[in-house]
């Protein structure tokens, strides 16, 4: 890659919108100089307002291919569908997926993410083994597939191989539908190690780890795997699903006498390395405790709505200064706009108020607050230098379409409000990741071929 000099009439810098900004990108794809009030000179002029690309901190890539297939009443469920019946559908779907299919699905998903303005993904990856539960010859085969899809599409990836050992609280035996997921801490750490070796020098890849949920591990295996990861990389991200469903809270209470977040805070002191996915059901004390811990709350509002989880206590968590970011999780929607919009709309509907998450300041832009919080939390959770137009970070950014009707004549201070709350058309025009242009005028460089492969996979899966 050669050095690039770019010029934006408007760019969202860490302290807000700035005019006439020159962005210099070095040969490694990092921002190495940013000048406000600059002259365009010979720089490449960007077509519209420029935003840092959004990190997508929670993805189960394979689920993209089942989006829409669980939106009818499941036979035999007597109309009483829930998260738990959806999970059965998902387990059946996952039963026969091959590594090639997973790669093709992930490639399609990552292209869609880039076109929507996500420039990095946290892949919470638990589909490790063959359909009979036996590991592939290469223990990290499946993880390599999502990393390869990310590499080909150009999106940055934090691969989080998942520790899944049990079927429920109290070391309950895992079920048939979970056999492709299972590892003990040793084997999981081996996956982490081989992936780290393969991607040591790649600035687009970070390796962390994810205990699936408190349902799938015990205190001992959680300790063991976290200690092992810390030995390999003391700052590596650790993600964990927590307190998503009421039944999960009840089972945790029955087993340990503690609620899930309470249990984790007491037994494992999560810190800034941690990202707690969902954390939907928290008491006031848990909400304050999680905010104070420095861990990121990984919110996935469209999936949480789709699965009937409940509402995350966003008002209290934000008031307590908690860090948070967004993920598209099951990918029934792949749009940072929709995640941020529904985080706010959930609160409006529940409270019958408006501009609920805007925070302090009479003229505060709600859109700006949501977008910048999610950038910071997302970057922290993915453990990569992303999420800001700032020297030393990756050159990951999105150029908005100046011709998008909802953005017309909008002053910079209202751009993010309009983008998030006032339209359905994707306003992303161009996307650069790590100094490479991946999306130009709304199209990804490989989208045709990627879609063709994805269609072929779906034909097989649905026949
Ligand atoms: C997952 N997804 O691992 O894909 C989960 C469902 C579970 C979400 N929680 C399975 N959204 O939690 O057991
Ligand atoms: Zn998840």
Which atom, in ligand 1's list, is nearest to the CA of 304? Answer: 11
Residue nearest (by alpha carbon) to ligand 1 atom 7: 87
Sequential DSSP letters for 37-66:
T---TTSEEPSS-EEEPEEEEEE-GGGGGG
> How far is the centre of ligand 1, averaged over its atoms, from the C-alpha of 270 (Å)?
21
Segment 33-42, tens digit of pLDDT: 999 999 999 9
Distance 123 CA to ligand 2 centre (A): 9
DSSP 408: T
Exposure letters 168-181 (e unless 16+ CB within 10 A, then b): bbeeeebeeebbbb
Q: How large is the average pLDDT for residues 297-314?
A: 98
* Residue (of 231, 236, 127) closest to 182 by Cα position: 127
In ligand 1, which atom is closest to the CA atom of 329?
Answer: 11
Q: How far is the CA of 390 from the centre of ligand 1 (A)?
A: 35
Mean pLDDT, the chain, rounded, equals 97
In tens, the pLDDT along 82-94 reads 999 999 999 999 9
Distance in angstroms (rounded) separating the CA atoms of residues 77 and 65: 23
Say what the pLDDT of residue 364 is.
84
- Rounded to the nearest whole angstrom, what is the distance from the C-alpha of residue 166 to the centroid of ligand 1? 14
Q: Taking the CA of residue 250 as centre, how many other CA atoms within 13 Å lie in the half-sphere pointing to its CB? A: 3
Of all protein residues, whose CA lies closest to atom 13 belonging to ligand 1?
A: 87
Nearest atom in ligand 1 to the alpha carbon of residue 162 is: 3
Residue 386 CA to residue 363 CA, distance in Å, equals 28
Fold of 4-51+394-448: Urease, subunit C; domain 1 (2.30.40)
Name every protein residue with a CB atom under 6 angstroms from any ligand 1 atom: 60, 87, 213, 241, 244, 303, 307, 329-330
Question: For a substitution probing ligand 1, which of 167, 217, 330, 331 has the most ligand atoms within 8 Å of its CB?
Answer: 330
Closest ligand (CA of 83): 1
DSSP letter at 137 equals S
Token pair listed for 405: 């009707």
Which CATH superfamily groups domain 53-382?
Metal-dependent hydrolases (3.20.20.140)
Which residues fall within 8 angstroms of residue 279, CB to CB, at 6 or more apart?
242, 243, 261, 290, 297, 298, 312
Would the pLDDT of 75 be above 80? Answer: no
Provide φ and ψ at 206, rounded to 5°.
-130, 140
Mutate to test the pocket of ligand 1, among 178, 244, 247, 307 (most ligand atoms within 8 A of CB): 244
Q: Sign (positive/negative) of CA torsion 270, 275, 281, 285?
A: positive
Which mutation among 57, 58, 60, 128 tests ligand 1's pocket best, with the greatest number of atoms within 8 A of CB? 60
Active-site residue set: 278, 329
DSSP tag of 289: H
d(CA 421, CA 193): 43
Distance CA 326, CA 336 (A): 7
Could you state, in order of their start, the residue ranges of all structural domains in the chain? Answer: 4-51+394-448, 53-382
Give the pLDDT confidence score for residue 281 in this predicted structure. 98
Contact 389, 49 (CB under 8 A): no
Residue 363 clears pLDDT 80, i.e. is over it:
no
Statement: the pTM of the whole predicted model exceeds 0.95 = yes
15: CB partners within 8 A, 6+ apart: none
- pLDDT, tens digit, 9 for 90 and up, residues 327-354: 999 999 999 999 999 999 999 999 999 9
Where residue 305 falls among pLDDT bands split at 50, 70, 90? very high
Q: Are strands 4-13 and 44-45 parallel, antiparallel or unpaired?
A: parallel
Mean pLDDT of 276-304: 98
pLDDT of residue 248: 98
**pLDDT confidence band for 362 (50 / 70 / 90):** low
Note the ligand closest to the C-alpha atom of 309: 1
Q: Which one-letter DSSP state was computed for residue 393? A: S
- The pLDDT of residue 203: 98
Ligand 1 atom with the smallest distance to the CA of 63 is 4
């Amino acid at each position: 890659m050669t050095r690039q000099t770019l010029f934006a009439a408007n760019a969202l810098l860490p302290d807000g919108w700035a005019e006439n900004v020159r962005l210099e990108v070095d040969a490694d794809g990092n921002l190495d100089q940013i000048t406000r009030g600059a002259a365009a000179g010979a720089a490449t002029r960007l077509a519209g307002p420029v935003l840092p690309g959004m990190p997508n901190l929670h993805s189960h890539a394979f689920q993209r291919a089942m989006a829409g297939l669980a939106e009818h009443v499941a036979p035999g469920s007597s109309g009483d569908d829930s998260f738990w019946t959806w999970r059965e559908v998902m387990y059946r779907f996952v039963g026969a997926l091959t590594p090639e299919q997973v790669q093709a699905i992930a490639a399609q998903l990552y292209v869609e993410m880039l076109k929507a303005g996500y420039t990095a993904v946290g892949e919470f990856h638990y589909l490790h083994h063959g359909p009979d539960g036996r590991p592939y010859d290469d223990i990290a085969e499946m993880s390599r597939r999502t990393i390869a899809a990310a590499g080909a599409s150009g999106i940055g990836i934090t691969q989080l191989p998942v520790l899944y050992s049990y079927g429920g609280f109290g070391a309950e035996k895992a079920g048939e539908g979970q056999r492709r997921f299972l590892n003990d801490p040793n084997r999981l750490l081996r996956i982490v190690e081989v992936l780290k070796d393969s991607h040591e020098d790649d600035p687009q890849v970070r390796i962390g780890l994810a205990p699936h949920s408190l349902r799938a591990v015990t205190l001992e295996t959680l300790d063991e795997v976290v200690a092992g990861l810390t030995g390999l990389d003391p700052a590596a991200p650790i993600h964990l699903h927590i307190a998503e469903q009421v039944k999960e809270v009840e089972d945790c209470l029955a087993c340990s006498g503690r609620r899930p977040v309470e249990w984790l805070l007491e037994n494992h002191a999560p810190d800034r390395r941690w990202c707690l996915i969902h954390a939907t059901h928290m008491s006031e004390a848990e909400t304050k405790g999680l905010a104070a811990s420095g861990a990121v709350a990984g919110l996935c509002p469209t999936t949480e709505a789709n699965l009937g989880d409940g509402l995350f206590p966003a008002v209290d968590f934000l008031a307590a200064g908690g860090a948070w970011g967004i993920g598209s999780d099951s990918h029934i929607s792949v749009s940072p706009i929709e995640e941020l919009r529904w985080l706010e709309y959930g609160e409006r509907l529940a409270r019958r108020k408006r501009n609920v998450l805007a925070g302090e300041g009479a003229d505060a832009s709600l859109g700006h607050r949501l977008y910048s919080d999610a950038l910071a939390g997302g970057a922290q959770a993915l453990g990569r230098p992303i999420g800001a137009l700032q020297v030393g970070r990756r050159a990951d950014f999105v150029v908005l379409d100046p011709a998008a009707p909802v953005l017309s004549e909008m002053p910079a201070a209202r751009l993010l409000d309009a983008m998030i709350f006032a339209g359905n058309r994707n306003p992303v025009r161009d996307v650069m990741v790590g100094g490479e242009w991946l999306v130009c005028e709304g199209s990804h460089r490989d989208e045709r071929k990627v879609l063709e492969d994805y269609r072929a996979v779906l034909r097989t899966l649905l026949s």
